[in-house]
């Protein structure tokens, strides 16, 4: 199996584009019979954001002024080139800690890829509040993640799983991760920022290639 790591945040448009390209590249290799496993690492681009929902555009306008409209138009155009529809008029500004918590739980059941895609779409296209427990539980059910064995408080910020997530966030910061997206394919170099599907596919294909046999003497 080829192993890939991706650092992302599900309210980061660059992560959404990067995720989409990575999965498409992985699916091309999977179609050739090579297994590809993707591990998603958490990053919070707005760690101080509240879980209380508010429309994203006013938040961006307060932070960026008139530049907010220019930026979101550019991001919408960039995402559309990858077939992604962004609705900044619907998007909700919120913290993503609990969304990352669901991703971590889904990974334990082999469902992380589906959950990540669904969270991106819920935030960027459907205007869902992805820190709300009912939304997260709906995403889990839709993606086949069984939360029942973990108990009713599994998505709380005080759960044992939440403490593990805090540890992972701290570990990544300690190792110098200061943004998303970030990719590492097998033992290859770290790739910072959005990468093309071609670059990601070539990295995956190279990792899948058999090691050269030493010539006989």
- The domain segmentation of the chain, as residue ranges, is 2-208
What pLDDT, in 10s, does the model give residues 39-82? 999 999 998 888 888 999 999 999 899 899 999 999 999 999 99
Q: Read off the pTM.
A: 0.93
Q: How confident is the model at residue 210 (pLDDT cuts 50, 70, 90)?
A: confident
Across the range 204-217, mean pLDDT stands at: 74
| φ/ψ bin of 144: left (φ > 0), alpha (ψ from -120 to 50), beta (otherwise) | left
- On whether the CB atoms of residues 15 and 180 are closer than 8 A, the answer is yes
Confidence of residue 13 (pLDDT cuts 50, 70, 90): very high
Q: How far apart are CA 197 and CA 179, in angstroms?
A: 20
Report whether pLDDT(88) > 90.
Answer: yes
Q: What is the pLDDT of residue 39?
A: 97
Q: Supply the CATH classification number for the domain 2-208.
A: 3.40.30.10
């Amino acid at each position: 199996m080829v192993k890939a790591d991706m650092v992302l945040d599900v309210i980061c448009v660059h992560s959404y584009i990067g995720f989409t390209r990575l999965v498409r590249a992985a699916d091309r290799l999977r179609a050739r019979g090579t297994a590809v496993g993707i591990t998603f690492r958490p990053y919070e681009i707005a760690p101080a954001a509240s879980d209380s929902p508010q429309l994203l555009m006013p938040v961006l306008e307060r932070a960026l002024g008139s530049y907010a409209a220019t930026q979101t138009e550019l991001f919408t155009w960039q995402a559309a080139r990858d077939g992604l529809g962004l609705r900044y008029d619907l998007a909700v500004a919120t913290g993503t800690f609990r969304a990352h918590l669901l991703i971590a739980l889904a990974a334990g059941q082999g469902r992380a890829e589906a959950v990540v895609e669904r969270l991106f779409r819920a935030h960027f296209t459907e205007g869902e509040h992805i820190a709300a427990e009912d939304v997260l539980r709906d995403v889990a059910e839709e993606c086949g993640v069984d939360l029942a064995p973990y108990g009713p408080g599994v998505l709380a910020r005080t759960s044992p799983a939440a403490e593990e997530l805090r540890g992972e966030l701290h570990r990544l910061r300690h190792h110098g991760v200061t943004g998303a997206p970030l990719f590492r394919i097998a033992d290859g170099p770290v790739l910072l920022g959005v990468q093309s599907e071609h670059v990601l596919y070539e990295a995956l294909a190279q990792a899948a290639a058999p090691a050269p046999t030493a010539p006989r003497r």
